[in-house]
Amino acid sequence: MIEQPKPSALSEQVQNMIEWLASYGGDGKGGVTRLLYDPAWRAAQQAIKSKMEELGLLARYDDAGNLFGRIDGHDSKAPVILTGSHIDTVIGGGKYDGAYGIIAALIAVEYLKTYYGLPIKPIEVVSLCEEEGSRFPITYWGSGSITGVKKREMVRGIKDANNVPFEQAMHAAGFGTMQHPEPKRIDLECFIELHIEQGEVLEREKKSIGIVSHIVGQRRYDITVFGESNHAGTTPMQWRHDAMFTAAELIRLLIHRANMEKSGLVATVGRIDVKPNVGNVIAREVTFSLDVRHSDADKIHAFCEECFGEFEKIAAQHGTSIVCEKWMDESPVAMDSSLSAAAENILKKEGISYKTMTSGAGHDSQVFGTYCPAALLFVPSRGGISHSPEEYTNAEDLQRGVRLLIAMLHKLAY
């Protein structure tokens, strides 16, 4: 077992850095919003870059906006041990989602550098530019650019809710113009991500750490119903082509079917946009989001096919039409069993309770996991709440996760 930081000092350090990073994009009501390439995102990346340099790491961006802080190893040709998470958030998100993994990596690398000197293999901390898909209809832009599954042509033509084109936002933030190295990496040995669970399994089962064996697959759609606008007072019900009525029926069908599923499949409709969105006008167009997840990709496919088949019948009855646009389709991914076993051995030696589990949330480890060995390690979330200002993990759990990361990085790189 290696010499670890004092828990109390580590707790304080983690909490202070969580508050420090949350101040970038903080909305003053406990929520945090940092969207890809927006001012809060840029300020946060720059603050992390300064912190990396303060710690004596070699800090640099890539051309997608991912930020790396590197300590070289004695064997500079050795592949890189990469650790970190994403800097972007959902709108009005919490202080821990993504940020905790970056902060834990900074603290762990600083501690190892101070007490154990240079590693044999290079270690890099990464602040991944985008994971959530909160601003533009694309997810994993950061990890996907590094592994090569996300390409520039995929973002041509996509816009945010304010009609700002992706590449315009990217260029305005100083990326996408080859000022920085190409994002694609071929020198990675593995990726280790520390993250909050965003569920309540660990809390309910009173376990300190989650070792993720698999991350669920997920699909995301924008479903648009086209009807006919008309006067709310003078249009008899039987003459209407009401996009809102159709959308309501489709949403009910989706959630009802998901509730009937006993396989653990989850379906969520989280966003709805109505045109013209006026109280005394029958809706001509309604677009709503659909997020479907399961550890078995076939179950996701079967659920979508079955529901979309019903959609056509409902639209025909209402005289409306439907377009289902799939903009995300991630397969379930297994985490690396030997990295997970290494984590398990450390936890057993330290006498820290843990649970091997599936992740219902998507993570950058899902993208790295198809490219190099990846490990995803959870700390508990209070009440399982996440993607909310109420997101919280207590200091003791936070510092325990950092200690695990320190031990993992020491085992892998020293």
- Applying CB under 5 A, the span of 41-49, 96-104, 253-261, 263-271 interacting with Mn ion comes to 96-104
- Partner that binds at residue 336, options ligand HGY, Mn ion, none, CB closer than 5 to 8 Å by kind: none
In DSSP notation, 232-294 reads TTTS-GGG---HHHHHHHHHHHHHHHHHH--S--EEE---EEEES--TTEE-SEEEEEEEEEE
Between 132 and 193, CB nearer to ligand HGY? 132
Between 64 and 215, CB nearer to Mn ion? 215
Shortest distance (Å) from residue 195 CB to Mn ion: 6
- Partner that binds at residue 249, options ligand HGY, Mn ion, none, CB closer than 5 to 8 Å by kind: none
Q: Is 295 exposed, middle or buried (0-12, 13-18, 19+ CB in 10 A)?
A: buried
Return the DSSP state at 93. B
Long-range contacts of residues 273-277, Cβ cutoff 8 Å, at least 24 apart: 274/243, 274/244, 275/229, 276/229
- Partner that binds at residue 362, options Mn ion, ligand HGY, none, CB closer than 5 to 8 Å by kind: ligand HGY
Between 134 and 295, CB nearer to Mn ion? 134
- Partner that binds at residue 98, options ligand HGY, Mn ion, none, CB closer than 5 to 8 Å by kind: Mn ion
Per CB under 5 A, does 98 bind Mn ion?
Answer: yes
Instruction: Spell out a b/e string for 72-101, using b for 16 or more CB atoms within 10 Å of the CB, else e.
Output: bbeeeebbbbbbbbbbbbbeebbbbbbbbb
* 143 and 188 Cβ atoms separated by less than 8 Å: no
Between 196 and 286, CB nearer to ligand HGY? 196
Structure tokens at 132: 């959530």
Between 223 and 346, CB nearer to ligand HGY? 223
Residue of 108, 49, 127 lying closest to 58 (CA atoms): 49
Shortest distance (Å) from residue 86 CB to Mn ion: 6
Structure tokens at 185: 């990496």
Between 142 and 362, CB nearer to ligand HGY? 362
Q: What angle do CA 75, 77, 79 make, to 5 degrees?
A: 95
Between 363 and 400, CB nearer to ligand HGY? 363
Per CB under 5 A, does 122 bind Mn ion?
Answer: no
Between 98 and 401, CB nearer to Mn ion? 98
Between 21 and 81, CB nearer to ligand HGY? 21
Shortest distance (Å) from residue 361 CB to ligand HGY: 4
Site for ligand HGY in 73-132 (CB under 6 A): 131-132
Size of the site for Mn ion (CB under 5 A): 2
Size of the site for ligand HGY (CB under 6 A): 4
Structure tokens at 37: 């390439």
CA atoms within 13 A on the CB side of 144: 18
Per CB under 6 A, does 31 bind ligand HGY?
Answer: no
Site for Mn ion in 391-410 (CB under 5 A): none
* 75 and 120 Cβ atoms separated by less than 8 Å: yes
Site for ligand HGY in 356-375 (CB under 6 A): 361-362
* 98 and 129 Cβ atoms separated by less than 8 Å: no
281 Cβ contact list (under 8 Å, min separation 6): 229, 230, 231, 232
Site for ligand HGY in 131-160 (CB under 6 A): 131-132
- Partner that binds at residue 88, options Mn ion, ligand HGY, none, CB closer than 5 to 8 Å by kind: none
Shortest distance (Å) from residue 198 CB to ligand HGY: 6
Per CB under 5 A, does 97 bind Mn ion?
Answer: yes
Q: What is the rounded CA–CA span in Å between residue 196 and residue 48?
A: 20
CA atoms within 13 A on the CB side of 408: 31
Shortest distance (Å) from residue 102 CB to Mn ion: 11
- Partner that binds at residue 285, options Mn ion, ligand HGY, none, CB closer than 5 to 8 Å by kind: none
Which residues of this protein are in contact with ligand HGY, per CB under 6 A?
131-132, 361-362
Q: Which residues bind Mn ion (CB under 5 A)?
A: 97-98
